[in-house]
Amino acid sequence: MNKIYQKEDTILSRLQLIYSDQDAQKAFKCINELIDKYKDKIEFKSYQLSEKDVILITYANQVLKPNQKPLLSLNNFLDRYVKDFINSVHILPFYPYSSDDGFSVIEYKEVCPKMGSWQDIQNLSKNYRLMFDAVINHVSQSSSWFQKFLKNDPCYKEFFTQVDPSVDLSGVTRPRTLPLLHDYQDIDKKNRYIWTTFSKDQVDLNYANYKVLIAVLDVLLFYVQKGADLLRLDAIAFIWKIIGTSCVHLKQTHELIKLMREVIHKIAPWVIIVTETNVPHDENISYFGNGYDEAQMVYNFALSPLLAHSILKQNTKALTKWANSLSLPSDRVCFFNFSASHDGCGLRAVSDILSLQDIDDLIKNVKKNGGFVSYRSTSDGKELPYELNASYIDIISNKDEKQDLRVKKMILTQAVVLSMPGVAGIYFHSLVGSSNDLEGVKKTKEKRSINRQKLDYDTLTKELNQKGSIRAEIFNEYKRLLSIRKEQKAFHPFGEFKILSLHDKVFAIERKSIDKSESILAIYNFSNKSLNCKTPIEQNGAYDLIHQRAINTKNIDLEPYMIRWIKY
């Protein structure tokens, strides 16, 4: 064993909290071998978050051109349209897959040939920091790991969780209404009932077998070698199973994340671990750990539905109250703020923030615009709403409204995301003003397809350049906000923040730079009425960054759905 790592006993200590002493020792030896394997393959980077960091969330095949690999088309689009104001890209799973638009991974270490190659990924990394998806709760039933398991390959024995279907699993927290167990026939024609949290094509890995952990760590280090500066741990809350428990947020789950971070940071201390856990807010933020040992960034799931609720009700009480409760365990962690994603708008995070009536009102508005709702099962057999499936503009506005009003509402919500403490994530379809893709749902029969449309490159660019089109208006306003934001030290991810209660229809947040030399008061009118608010800003030298004019009074006028970023 390399002496450099022999004295590092924290990894071993974490392993001993999860596994038997014998398995912990075996795993520790394997981990040191992995470190030796990758330490000379990964080039050191100096990467620290700043106000310039904004992450675009996109599929590898988001924009398509005839006779061109999608990753090349994406790179061309980004360089032409967004490079000047977006510096990071979250490429949703680009590996070979069998379903769920990439989240049923067949082979972790390959790029789907239809998308492009590792060279294309490397080319993207030249101009953008990259976030890779670590879809490590489950693999595709078509994956080599699962197929070898069904063939009774001894190397893959106990790689998956087999359960007698007579066992009572009603207490397990479910994110879906589908069965928790599915049966598969092995090489001996024997039925195997295997744990599947999400679908039959997404077979959960069994981390109680330390060999699974080693195989996954190898994948994560491989991703860092291939250019990942951020690793998004998909659906990580469900990763450890103990029958008789809820099988969500178990202590072993948290220890696994801490262990993964520690191993990766032995070689690549700049890599940021991001956890994706669509659960109630208080449970979600538990993945920060003590602020130094677990996720460095956590998806801020409550923000999206709270913004939609505030627009719908023209009232910011719930948003303000929630934002006022936000706290971080250290100055080394932050939120990943977003309004939309490939999964739609999750509702679990606000299950204890908004009333059932408030949630029902959101659902009615989404359905009015042609959207859908996905449900989850509870332990008593009930079905509760899990997420809103719609483009974000069709969640927060109505199709029969005038275009300029829809644009104002959309940009208002996106501006709030940009001013919240942490790093902003922007879904591609939000950036370019996409509406519901109902034809996509008809083709796939999947609700989530409504917000996963793949766009023709030439058609999209034509619309972005067409003066007066909704795509052009949203994109240009977004571009203007981002261009302003990246130059303001007060929007540093780790800068101080304070929520102000100025008016029931207004959301206001004060941001300060780390050195406290700059302050910005971001004020948002969530109503269709003109308002006047008294603010605590200093009158001398205050300046409205968006409207480019001096502010000489503490009483600020706000037109309907108006945004003001006042620097002072």
Region 505-519: mean pLDDT is 96
Region 4-22: mean pLDDT is 81
SS3 at position 163: coil
| pLDDT score of 8 | 57
Residue 352 has pLDDT above 50, yes or no: yes
Report how far residue 229's alpha carbon sits from residue 223's, in angstroms, rounded to the nearest whole number: 9
Residue 246 is assigned to a structural domain of this protein? yes
Tens of pLDDT, residue by residue over 410-466, are 999 999 999 999 999 999 999 999 999 999 999 999 999 999 999 999 999 999 999
| pLDDT score of 380 | 83
Q: Which of 91-105, 195-209, 318-332, 374-388 has the lowest mean pLDDT?
A: 374-388
Residue 415 is assigned to a structural domain of this protein? no
Residue 4 has pLDDT above 90, yes or no: no
| pLDDT score of 214 | 98
Residue 386 has pLDDT above 60, yes or no: yes
* Joined tokens for residue 138: 């489950």
| Marked catalytic residue, from 100, 234, 293, 343 | 234
Number of folded domains that form the chain:
2
Residue 468 has pLDDT above 70, yes or no: yes
* Joined tokens for residue 560: 């309907």
Q: What is the CATH number of the domain that holds 70?
A: 3.20.20.80
| pLDDT score of 379 | 82
Give the end of a domain, one of 272, 296, 320. Answer: 296
Give the end of a domain, one of 268, 296, 324. Answer: 296
Give the end of a domain, one of 275, 296, 317. Answer: 296
Instruction: Confirm if 536 and 554 have CB atoms less than 8 A apart.
Output: yes
Helix and strand counts by DSSP (H, E) for the chain: 18, 25
* Joined tokens for residue 251: 């202590």
Residue 101 is assigned to a structural domain of this protein? yes
Residue 535 is assigned to a structural domain of this protein? yes
Bridge partners (DSSP) of residue 183 are: 193
Region 189-205: mean pLDDT is 98
Residue 236 is assigned to a structural domain of this protein? yes
The rounded percent of the chain whose pLDDT value lies above 90 is 95
Q: What is the CATH number of the domain that holds 516?
A: 2.60.40.1180
Residue 294 has pLDDT above 60, yes or no: yes
Residue 186 is assigned to a structural domain of this protein? no
Residue 417 is assigned to a structural domain of this protein? no
What does pLDDT average to over the chain?
96
Residue 1 has pLDDT above 60, yes or no: no
Which residues constitute the domain of residue 539?
A: 497-567
Residue 388 is assigned to a structural domain of this protein? no
| pLDDT score of 5 | 41
In the annotation, is 164 catalytic? no
Three-point CA angle 140, 143, 145, nearest 5°: 115
Please write down the long-range contacts of 15-22, taking CB distance under 8 Å and 24 or more positions apart: 15/210, 15/259, 17/251, 17/252, 17/255, 18/252, 18/255, 18/256, 18/259, 19/210
Residue 3 has pLDDT above 80, yes or no: no
Region 333-340: mean pLDDT is 98
Residue 61 has pLDDT above 80, yes or no: yes
Label residue 553 by pLDDT band (50, 70, 90): confident
